[in-house]
Amino acid sequence: MPQTYTAWKSISFVALWFAALAGSLSVVAASETKFVGSQTCNSVSCHGRTEPRRVSGGVNGASLQEFALYERHDPHVKAAKTLASPEFQAIIGKLSERPAGPTRATVYHQCAQCHDPEGMAAEAVPSSAVSHGISCETCHGGGKGWLAQHYERDVSRSSLVALGMRDTKDLHVRGDLCASCHVGGALKNVNHDMLAAGHPPLRFELAAYHRKLTSHDEDGKRSHWNDARERIGTKDLEVKLWEAGQIASAKAALALLESRAHAGASWPEFAEYDCFSCHQRLRPSDGNRRAVAGLPQWGQWNLVFAGPAADSKVLNTLRDEMRQSFASQPHVVKVAASNVRKSLGTSLFLEDATSSQLLKLPAEPSEASKSWEALCQRYLAQRVLEKSIGDEFRKLELAGRISTSDRVSFNKQRGEIDHDLAAVGLQLSFADNKREWPRVLAIPQGIEQVESDLTATAGKLRMLQAFLEPRR
Amino acid sequence: MTHPGRNITRWLFAAAMAAGLLVDCQFPGFVAAQEPVQPAKPPLDYTNTDNCILCHSDTAKMKDHADFIGIAPADLWSKLDKHGQSFLLLKDKSRELTNRILGFDLREAFADDEFASLSEDAKLADKVQTVQSCFRCHATWPKDAEHPTGKLTEPVEPLSRGVSCQACHGPAGSWSEAHSGKWWRRVSHEAKSKLGFLNVRDGVVRTKLCASCHVGSVAEGKFVKHQWYAAGHPPLPGFEYSAFAAQMPAHWKPLADKGDFAGRTAASPVVPDGKAERIVLRRRNIDIADADIKAHYREANFPAAKDDAPFANRPRTQEVTLSGVVVLKTYAGLAGDYAEEAAKGNKQFAWPEFALYDCVACHHELRRQDGLASRPKLSGPPGRPPMPRWTRALLGLSTERKPQIDDDLRALELAFTQRPFGDPQQIAAAALKLAPQLEGLCQEVGAAKFDEDRAAKSLAILLSSSATADVRDYASARQVAWAVQGLRQDQEGIPYGFGASLDPEQQQSQDRIAAFFRRDNRDELLLTLPARQENSVAEDLPKFLRAMGDFDPEWFAERLKAAKGK
């Protein structure tokens, strides 16, 4: 969906660009000797074809050109290059030069957790085709145990998992995997020191990141996997992907908060808070007291929609703790965050995750819903809806259940929503490259305007859904 | 015009003196034999401000002092100066803002509709306390002041007078009469201060006094917390004494502009030793000993000064130098006192208190890596809010300081950033270590000679490339710009006092100096303060905040480079 992609691109926080380079897995797995190296994966008879494998004329299942596609199109392939960039040198320099601060080596080790898991394992696997950065086994798991079995016709997913392969087809597993870097964790802590040194903030949303990888744009860019079969076979896969991402992000964010509070050494951790609470130009007070005047708001990026998956009582306890006083006692926060994390279920909905369910889900909590972060998440959720309703309509179309006039009408409505959302996306995006300041925050009443725009597009999405439902 | 009230007071005073003399003559030794007792609490001894206004509103009424005063301070104060309106600002002009900052209506804390005294209702104690803390700066109501009737809810001065005479000159109950005689010029500053008189002629005393509100003082209960700023209290705009005083408009004549008044130095016409007046004071248990009557004004008021320094000093050169030390000392004291209470776990001193840190450390837009060059340069590592950079912008001018001060200052800065917001205990300890050294430096600078050479040297220090490279934030830039202007004015010999007449050549220099930090004929840094009654800080606030946000360090560096070339 090129339009969607372009619109999404307009929210081009630097975060996304950089963070997209970062994804990967725990280095613990990489440093063990279960790795066989991507050289093994990318031979021309396996995943290293330059043309897709065709079965009776069509591409079905694994195209066997995964490695080529990965190398050509996937941003993760550049992860190692990031570590050679002058920007990285500047960041590591700033972080290691402070008095009594960490050494360069310590900082590098920390960065490599996400940016160079392959490099950290390179000693053990000298044959690795990609000796730095992120490669096959970073995400799919060290191949020693399952290499010999995974191409066999009758092998089951569960038996491969038992052998050490990661079940990336499971959306929750995939969500956790991506969130482990794109949100972070105990060893992958993009804290405020790092942000101030120049690292972009992490703002992850699984479905949007997928669209970034899978969208075909002018360059014919595409992901190294083909999920057409799942999309056809699963109702509202896009919503399910989004749901898995929301829960995985919340889980990772809470674990990160726990570890930050546990360490305590640099508590309070600013990275937990809404950047724009503090980072704003001083302006005359508008008289609206949103929370406590002069206290930063806890950043809600990873919890705007995740509430229903948690026990609301413990979640409110944590929210109160983070809201009431800026410098909460770290051990109290740690326990509160841990309670919420443990209470997290695997679903945000009482029923199967579908677009009609998502349309009913309110963004919360109310006092943070006016923040830029909450508005972005609402925007992203509406993008998910727009795509998912579109996908479902396309399925009906392929089944021959849509008349020409219906198609025209649906496409017209959808085009309008896309247009409206593109305008909202522009408001939420940063004004230009030099001044990284979302437009919406730079104009008076901007937040209120975007809020009402999103309410309007939500109404239109509901109408689109209503148009689709009877034709199923 | 006759003022019967004033005449009566004078007459009564004269009569009292005569009676005193009589007693002294009739019973020689009677008074001397009695050990004079110091008044219980002289510094809390407030008098009705009408007593001050009586004389000080008209030069004719002070014609005996024409050589020394020459202007009518109370007249200037009431007609031009804003300090007197500081309470009415809260009550009337900016009431809505006041209420927003307080979180309740100002009236709630008062017992009456006239806003004469605060409520005694125990249920309102918190609100009363909050409101009272506003009046430490917005009226004449020092923390320790007690109302003559003993009622703590009644101000010592009607609030509507705002910051009035005694707020700065000290409670005048013990000295208001005494200071009207010429002999007062010879009274030692120690003796005067024992009576509650603040020797504002001493630049150190004066600068500290202003800084106690304009920078703040936890000890004196003068502290604007971040919550109040967030609710709309205008930022305290980077106080620099010399500029603030020059724009005030000053209701005094600087020593540099005064002629050779009686009692000035040994060479000036002699003034009496106030023997008769002192006898009257003794009867009120106020003693000014013979030893406290000095030979002349300079010895009494500036015992540590070198030669003719207080009169010959380039006034602005001394003031900017002193301001640089006093501002830092006041800030370090404020932060140290606050941190100490916070470390003790005092709930009234929540930690962290954002108002203690550099505003622009957080309040800037987020920029990409390549934009970092234009970000304010602050001490310490990125990502940790440091102490306000501007508070040390002019420290470099005090060449008297020992390296130890710089070391200890670095330790204080480090205490702020070793962990986010610093460890209050460490901050308190570092501030405590720094305080006596900065106090010593104040005294040294206060007594130093500020001649033409010093002005030139000071300018060179400010314009040295290492110093200019350091100035990357708005508040520091204003400090430096004001200082450069003041130093240049001193070099050009431009008269100091408010409304002093300039000859055409001086006027030309003055205009040139004023134009130097203008950009496209705009007052880019807002060096002109909203200091007159017709100006409003609240109305100017959007302009001020815009100037802060738009500050262009590259342009400023360019200006400093150009200044160096001249």
pLDDT in tens, A293-326: 788 889 889 998 998 999 999 999 999 898 877 7
The mean predicted confidence, pLDDT, of chain B is 87
CA distance A17 to A302: 18
Q: Which pLDDT value is given to residue B566?
A: 67
Partners of residue B369 in chain A, C-beta under 8 Å? 87, 90, 198
Best A281, A289, A373 member to test B by mutation, with max B CBs in 10 Å, is: A281
Residue A40 has pLDDT above 90, yes or no: no
Angle between helices A330-343 and A237-263 (to 10 degrees): 150
Contacts A282 to B, Cβ<8 Å: 235, 359, 363, 545, 548-549
Cβ of B372 and A101 within 8 Å? no
Confidence of residue A362 (pLDDT cuts 50, 70, 90): confident
- Interface contact A294-B229, CB threshold 8 A: yes
Count of structural domains, chain B: 2
Does A444 touch chain B if contact means CB atoms closer than 8 Å?
no
In chain A, which residues have their Cβ closer than 8 Å to the Cβ of B97?
285
Interface mutation target, options B99, B223, B236, B366, chain A, most CBs of A under 10 Å? B366
Q: Which residues of A touch B230 (CB under 8 A)?
A: 285, 293-295
Task: With respect to residue B425, please indicate whether it lies within any of the assigned structural domains.
Answer: yes
Please name the member of B97, B351, B383 whose beta carbon is closest to the beta carbon of A327: B351
Q: In the prediction, which pLDDT does A133 show?
A: 82
So what's the pLDDT on residue B378?
Answer: 56
For A57-74, what is the mean pLDDT? 82
Q: Mention every residue, 6+ apart, whose C-beta is less than 8 A from residue A42.
A: A48, A67, A68, A129, A136
- Test A282 with B359 for CB contact under 8 angstroms: yes
Per-residue confidence band for A276, with pLDDT thresholds at 50, 70 and 90: confident
Instruction: Read off the pLDDT band of B305 (50, 70, 90).
Output: confident
Q: Is the pLDDT of residue B22 over 50?
A: no
Which one is predicted more confidently, B430 or B541?
B430
Minimal CA–CA distance to A144: which of A132, A127, A156?
A127
Task: Scan residues 315-374 of B and list those with Cβ closer than 8 Å to A.
Answer: 350-352, 354, 359, 362-372
Q: Which of A125-139, A357-371, B434-448 has the lowest mean pLDDT?
A: A125-139
Give the integer Cα–Cα distance in Å for A340 and A303: 11
pLDDT value at residue B224: 97
Give me the pLDDT at residue B105, please. Answer: 97
Do both B84 and B217 map to the same domain? yes
Full domain range(s) for residue B295: 4-234+253-308
Contact B420 A266 (CB under 8 A): yes
| A365 has a pLDDT exceeding 60 | no
The pLDDT score that the predictor gives to residue B13 is 46
- Tell me if residue B435 falls in helix, strand or coil: helix
One-letter amino acid at A118 equals E
Question: Cβ contact (<8 Å) for A295 and B227?
Answer: yes
Q: Are residues B395 and B322 in the same domain?
A: yes
Domain boundary (B275, B308, B341) is at B308
**B222/B319 same-domain check:** no
Q: Which of A194-198, B26-30, B85-89, B466-470 has the lowest average pLDDT?
A: B26-30
CA nearest A196 in B: which residue?
A: B383
Say whether both B164 and B190 belong to one domain: yes
Segment B312-338, tens digit of pLDDT: 889 999 999 999 999 999 999 999 999
In-domain check, residue B408: yes
> Which of A200-204, B38-42, B430-434, B483-487 comes out lowest in average pLDDT?
B38-42
How many C-beta atoms surround the C-beta of residue B463 within 10 A? 19
Interchain proximity A281–B364, CB inside 8 Å: yes
Do residues B290 and B388 both lie within one domain?
no
Question: Residues B265, B222: one domain?
Answer: yes
Last residue of a domain, one of B245, B277, B308: B308
Query: Per-residue pLDDT averaged across B356-376, rounded?
Result: 68
Is A290 an interface residue toward B (CB < 8 Å)? no
- A294–B100: do the CB atoms touch at under 8 Å? no
ipTM: 0.81
More confident residue, B230 or A242: A242
My answer on whether B80 and B152 are in the same domain is yes
**Contact list, A327 vs chain B (CB under 8 Å):** 350-352, 421
Give per-residue pLDDT as tens, B459-484.
Answer: 999 999 878 777 888 999 999 999 99
- Select the residue of B228, B232, B363 nearest A281 (Cβ to Cβ): B363
Please report whether residue B246 resides in a domain.
no
Residue B73 structure tokens:
């301070």
Decide if pLDDT at B5 tops 80.
no
**pLDDT in the model for residue A363:** 65
Same-domain pairing of B320 and B300: no
Answer yes or no: is pLDDT of A274 > 50: yes
Is the model's pLDDT at A406 over the cut of 80?
Answer: yes
Q: Which amino acid, one-letter code, is at A23?
A: G
Tell me if chain A has a CB within 8 Å of the CB of B95: no
Percent of chain A residues topping a pLDDT of 90: 46
pLDDT reported for residue A28: 42
Binary contact (A293, B230; C-beta < 8 A): yes
Residue B240 lies in a domain: no
Read off the pLDDT band of A116 (50, 70, 90). confident
* Residue B359 domain-assigned (yes or no): yes
**B158 shares a domain with B63:** yes
Residue ranges of alpha helices (H) inside B232-343 are 241-246, 275-283, 297-301, 309-312, 315-343
Residues B437 and B516 occupy one common structural domain: yes
B247 belongs to a structural domain: no
Q: Is the pLDDT of residue A13 over 80?
A: no
Range of lowest pLDDT (A285-299, B209-223, B329-343): A285-299
Query: Any chain B CB within 8 A of the CB of A436?
Result: yes
Contact B383 A197 (CB under 8 A): yes
Instruction: Show the tokens assigned to B518.
Output: 């203008």
Interface of B with A in 399-418 (CB under 8 A): 414, 418
- When mean pLDDT is compared over A52-66, A77-91, B265-279, the highest value belongs to B265-279
Asked whether residue B243 is assigned to any structural domain, the reply reads no
Residues of B in contact with A294 (CB under 8 A): 225-231, 354
Tens digits of residue pLDDT in B126-178:
999 999 999 999 999 998 887 878 888 999 999 999 999 999 999 999 899 89
Question: Which chain A residues are within 8 Å of B371, Cβ to Cβ?
Answer: 434-436
Contacts of A195 in chain B (CB under 8 A): 383
Pairwise CB contact (< 8 Å): B232 & A267 = no
Q: How far is A199 from chain B (nearest CA, A)?
A: 8
Q: Do A265 and B354 touch (CB under 8 A)?
A: no
Question: Does A16 have pLDDT greater than 60?
Answer: no
In this predicted structure, the answer to whether residue A29 has a pLDDT above a threshold of 60 is no
Grade residue B94 by pLDDT with cuts at 50, 70 and 90. Answer: very high
Structural domain contains residue B241: no
State the pLDDT at residue B27.
39
- The beta-carbon neighbor of A281 closest among B371, B421, B545 is B545
Best A282, A283, A373, A437 member to test B by mutation, with max B CBs in 10 Å, is: A282
The minimum CA-CA distance between A287 and chain B, rounded to whole Å, is 7
In angstroms, how far is CA A421 from the centroid of its own chain?
Answer: 19
- A353, pLDDT greater than 80: yes
Q: Between chains, do A281 and B354 touch, taking CB under 8 Å as contact?
A: no
Q: How many contacts, defined by CB atoms under 8 Å, are there between A and B?
A: 112
**Are A281 and B365 an interchain contact pair (Cβ–Cβ within 8 Å)?**
yes
Q: Are residues B152 and B121 in the same domain?
A: yes
- Asked which of B288, B308, B328 is the last residue of a domain, the reply is B308
pLDDT > 70: percent of chain B: 90
Candidate from A99, A284, A289 with C-beta closest to B541: A284
pLDDT at B370 over 70: no
- Which residue has tokens 């309410």? A455
Q: What is the distance between the alpha carbons of residues A422 and A429, in angstroms, rounded to a whole number?
A: 10
For residues B285 and B336, membership in a common domain is answered with no
Instruction: Kindly report which listed range (A12-16, B15-19, B341-345, B500-504) carries the lowest average pLDDT score.
Output: A12-16
Burial B343-365 (b: 16+ CB within 10 A, else e): beeeeebbbbbbbbbbbbbbbbb
CB contact under 8 A, B372 and A326: no
Which residues of chain A from 161 to 220 reach within 8 Å of chain B, CB to CB?
191-198
Look at residue A438 and tell me whether its pLDDT is greater than 50.
yes
Judged by a CB distance cut-off of 8 A, whether residue B33 touches chain A is: no
B229 pLDDT higher than 60: yes
